[in-house]
Chain A
Amino acid sequence: MAIVRTERHPELPPPVTQTGVIGWMRQNLFSSWFNTILTIVSAYVAYHAIYAFLDFAIINANFAGTSRDDCTLDGACWVFIKQRFGQIMYGFYPEAERWRVDVGYVLGAIGIFLVLSNVVKSKKWPAVYLFIVYPVICYFLFYGGFGLEVVETSQWGGLFLTLVLASVSIFVALPLGIILALGRRSEMPVVRMVCVGFIELIRAVPLISVLFMASVMLPLFLPEGQNFDKLVRALVGMSLFSAAYMAEVVRGGLQALPKGQMEAAKSLGLGYWQSMGLIILPQALKISIPSIVNTFIGLFKDTTLVLIIGLFDLLSVVKAGTQDKDWLGLATEGYVFVAAVFWVFCFGMSRYSIWLENKLHTGHKR
């Protein structure tokens, strides 16, 4: 017998167990006896770990005072961080000049906000400001000139130095990485060989040895008396190192695009650079956002390695502080603080990348 449906089935709400907090908990945490026991045990362990940390970091911690003697030492002695805060933030940058760094932060924050947010419709001028004008301003602001007292880079330090290292390396690594990736896919054999050679050489060496080479060996090749700034050497080393990684990340994105995209661009009469800039790179970079940000985060944390060539970044400054005889025994506070600062920055980058991915998502993937 033939079956014919004459009436439309009414629309029903989804079953309760699949919606809401209770539905979620029932499904994920208490779906069987074993899961229920696991949930209870994990909750117990998590409670103790979190409680112990809060106990140390907040409940029994000391915030007031000026010296080690003001701390009861039942919990964290944040007085240490408070007393050394200036140095942790700016290194040995002269106190009277520290406003310059703050001005730099504010100008940078404005630029980043304009470029990353949706406030301005056209991104052209914010981008010109952030990527061309701002670095020039920063150079004079931080180093000196135009009536500002010169502050040698050996006095730079703390979080300020970490941020300088990270932003300059990121700023150089991304465009250089893109060029290396395009070069590696070029049809010109010489260009391709140079790019492959560079990438493979740098990637096969640990960052520490790149930094050592930059600080110890580079001066040997330079003419007598010519002394390259230590910070510049570290910046060159880190930028080249991250550019090699970035190149491979971008190449992955380029390879993921169907060949038809380039063919369509060509068939419309777009030249190589137009096709790359308007069609291929926007898509390839979008695909690679997670890996690009991953590389940035790795780079940001790797800035701590400059410690070994005698630069005083955030970690080194705090480490030096913990060895101060007035503050002995407070290493935990120092390292927890450093970890927290790094976490804030890296977590911020990660959230931004997720936001950006969602924003750039256009319809179904094919």
Chain B
Amino acid sequence: MSEAAKHMNDEVAIQINGMHKWYGEFHVLRDINLSVHRGEKIVVCGPSGSGKSTMIRCINRLEEHQQGQIIVDGIELTNDVKKVDEIRREVGMVFQHFNLFPHLTVLENCTLAPIWVRKTPKEEAEATAMKFLERVKIPEQALKYPGQLSGGQQQRVAIARSLCMNPRIMLFDEPTSALDPEMISEVLDTMISLAEEGMTMVCVTHEMGFAKTVADRVIFMDQGEIIEEAPPEEFFDNPQSERTKLFLSQILHNG
């Protein structure tokens, strides 16, 4: 059991039941079943094209699913735009390519959504933003533009930007795979400290060290299916399926 597991409780944060998704004719996700408890940290891994991004993007409906059920924070995702917006307010997302808003300063990136979505007064939003920028250790960059920061700094701003909305769940889609090696650890450290505070997290990542220290469960996907799901010790030491073994041997060789 990891240190962070003490935050876990029985309340279900994300529930996915028999979910399928197609891109046109292409059956990209098949019968996905997953439940994430509040405070739980899930790491999703698997070969390229296996549908990891598609799956976590379904959780905040950046992608639509066609069959099955996704329930986030007790709200079922449907075509109801109001409910979708409600869920997106509570679910933060960090992208592989940061997706900061280049025409706004770091501070404005962080205050934009609180001001416009949560209607927080500007001063209050700025104070909160500075608090989170301090947490990700870049308060001195607040007035710069994203284009003036390094990749690692940009990704930390992106994390702070999500945190400013006070999300109850955070989704990470390969947050370190666009970064140079020396910047990866600064982003991982931020994520680890977030995990220690009890945030519910679903992370797509191939950082196996991170998975071992932080994850409560590791999920392995291949060809649109969840193949294996286990606590990290079991997953790494004693993988059950052949595909998992193959994947692990490849990733541990190269990494």
Contact = CB atoms under 8 A, between A and B. Distances in A.
A36 interface: no
Interface residues of A, number: 24
B97 interface: yes
Interface stretch (A223-231, A239-247, A268-276, A348-356): A268-276
26 contacts: A260-B95, A260-B99, A261-B99, A263-B95, A264-B99, A264-B101, A266-B60, A266-B88, A267-B60, A267-B91, A267-B92, A268-B88, A269-B88, A269-B117, A270-B117, A271-B81, A271-B85, A274-B117, A278-B112, A283-B102, A362-B103, A363-B144, A363-B147, A364-B147, A364-B148, A366-B102
A366 B113 contact: no
Contacts of A286: 103
Contacts of B205: none
B142 to A, nearest CB: 14
Given A270-B116, A363-B145, A260 B97 contact: yes
A363 B85 contact: no
Given A264-B95, A366-B147, A278 B62 contact: no
A283 B145 CA distance: 14
A266 B62 contact: yes
Contacts of B148: 362-364
Given A362-B145, A363-B102, A366-B102, A267 B116 contact: no
Given A268-B161, A269-B117, A363-B146, A279 B93 contact: no
B89 interface: yes
A124 interface: no
B128 interface: no
Nearest to A268: B113
Interface residues of B, number: 28
Interface of A: 258, 260-261, 263-271, 274, 278-279, 282-283, 286, 360, 362-366
B153 interface: no
Contacts of A264: 93, 95, 99-101
A260 B95 CA distance: 8
A279 B101 contact: yes
B9 to A, nearest CB: 25
Contacts of B81: 271
A359 to B, nearest CB: 12
A117 B196 CA distance: 49
Q: Is the interface of A mostly helix, strand, loop or mixed?
A: helix
Contacts of A258: 97, 99
B162 interface: yes
B165 interface: yes
B165 A365 contact: no
A362 B147 contact: yes
A261 B117 CA distance: 17
Contact of B85 (A269, A360, A366): A269
B95 A274 contact: no
A362 B149 CA distance: 11
Contact of B101 (A261, A267, A269, A360): A261
Nearest to B105: A362
B147 A274 contact: no
A122 B44 CA distance: 46
B146 A269 contact: no
A268 B165 contact: yes
Given A264-B95, A267-B93, A269-B88, A282 B161 contact: no
Contacts of A263: 62, 95, 99
A268 B162 contact: yes
A249 to B, nearest CB: 19
Contacts of B113: 268-270
A268 B100 CA distance: 11
B85 A365 contact: no
Nearest to B94: A267
Nearest to B57: A263
Given A362-B145, A363-B144, 17 more contacts: A258-B99, A263-B99, A264-B93, A264-B99, A266-B62, A266-B88, A267-B91, A269-B88, A269-B89, A269-B117, A270-B116, A270-B117, A274-B116, A278-B112, A283-B101, A362-B102, A365-B147
Contact of B117 (A268, A282, A363): A268
A53 to B, nearest CB: 44
Contacts of B116: 270, 274, 278
B93 to A, nearest CB: 4
A264 B62 CA distance: 10
A363 B97 CA distance: 17
A267 B97 contact: no
Nearest to A363: B147
A366 B216 CA distance: 36
B11 to A, nearest CB: 22
A283 B146 CA distance: 14
